[in-house]
Amino acid sequence: MSEQRWTRPVTVTVNGRRETRDVEHRTLLVHFLREHLRLTGTHIGCDTSNCGACTVVLEGAAVKSCTLLAVQVDGQSVTTVEGLSGPYNGLSAVQEGFRQEHGLQCGYCTPGMVMASTALLSEQPDPSPDAIRHALEGNICRCTGYEMIVRSVRWAAEHGDAAARAEVTP
């Protein structure tokens, strides 16, 4: 009887750094980021893709990392909230927008909201409030109400194209 291999090496560029780890085939991307790479800014909220707390940017698109297996992103690039930086004392324009416009309270949804907003602004640098609401539909906030979040994203859009890119710090 041949021995079955339950793990395999996965190589992902995360926040500009190439990372290789042996993972079980069933390891979700969110667990790969949190447990294997110790990037705990990506939150686990529901494990069912309903809340959006685990949103990251994969190859330029916002994705819920609880819906992907780590083996599915082998060879691809992921940006997490830890990988954002920018001209506002190290914060990206989206992060600064959330600070300026009070787009967070408990902070649990914030990394997912920030990453979904970052992906939106990279595709659409000057979105309307309705476009922002549509882009954030899959992200749930239980504290602030969405108006402050929409204002936060508009603040980022209004403060230059630094908001439109996830500037990764390796």
pLDDT tens, position by position, 55-87: 999 999 999 999 999 999 999 999 999 999 999
130 — alpha (psi -120 to 50), left (phi > 0) or beta?
alpha
Burial of 64 (0-12, 13-18, 19+ CB in 10 A): buried
What are 109-121's pLDDT values in tens digits?
999 999 999 999 9
Summarize the confidence of residues 21-26 as an average pLDDT. Answer: 95
Q: Which residue has the higher pLDDT, 84 or 167?
A: 84
Quickly tell me which residue has 């997490």 as its tokens.
80
How high is the pLDDT of residue 143?
86
Q: How would DSSP label each residue in 148-165?
A: HHHHHHHHHHHT-GGGGS
Summarize the confidence of residues 52-56 as an average pLDDT. Answer: 96
Asked if 84 and 14 count as a contact pair (C-beta separation under 8 A), the reply is: no
Residue type present at position 24: E
How high is the pLDDT of residue 43?
95
Q: Rounded distance, CA 57 to CA 80, Å?
A: 7
